[in-house]
Amino acid sequence: MHELSLITAMMDLILKDAQSRGIRKITRVELKVGEFSGAYPHALREAFAVASRATPMEEAELVIEEVPAELRCRECGAVFRPSETGWACPSCRSQNVLLQGGLELEIQSYHGRDGDVGQGRSRQGYSSGEQEES
């Protein structure tokens, strides 16, 4: 239900970043969404279709990598998926387990074009993002 908030937060981050790099059109956005993140890919896509209208992201392809929940046993190191019957380790029955994947809600990358990224300033001073030409 909160997917629209997530999508608008994602769009704000990307549009701001794109603007600072002189990127005028976003063609592709790659997200990583964990199984236990509480966000559903289908609802994210619906929200994106609505929220991106009349923005530089309107025609962007939204690619969602779904990350399955993954547990690791702190006792024997086994890696396994949570089951209906609980989170105990299937190998040693220990309940001392750690969720090591499945809560992700990340913007991996985005693709853009029509920018003047090849020249000067827009390439400098971004510690949080790397830029590759393709």
Partner 1 sequence: MSVKVVVGKDILAVNRKRAEDLRARFKQMGIKVVNMLSSPGAGKTSILEATIPRLQKVRAAVIEGDVATTRDAERLSHLGIPLVQITTLGACHLDASMVWKALEEMDLSRVDLLFIENVGNLVCPASFDLGENLRVVVLSVAEGTDKPAKYPAAFLSSQVVLINKMDLVPYTDFDLERVLGEVRAMKPDMKTFTMSCRTGEGIDRWAEWLEKWVRESQ
- Chain residues in the site for partner 1 (CB under 8 A): 1-2, 5-6, 9-10, 12-14, 17-18, 21, 23, 27, 31, 36-39, 69, 82, 84, 86-88, 95-97, 99, 102-103, 105-113, 115, 117-118, 128-134
Q: Nearest approach, Cβ of 64 to partner 1 (angstroms)?
A: 11
Residue 59 has which token pair? 């025609």
Q: Nearest approach, Cβ of 109 to partner 1 (angstroms)?
A: 5
Residues 6+ apart with CB under 8 A from 99: 36, 69, 70, 71, 82
Residues 6+ apart with CB under 8 A from 96: 73, 74, 75, 89
Q: Nearest approach, Cβ of 86 to partner 1 (angstroms)?
A: 6
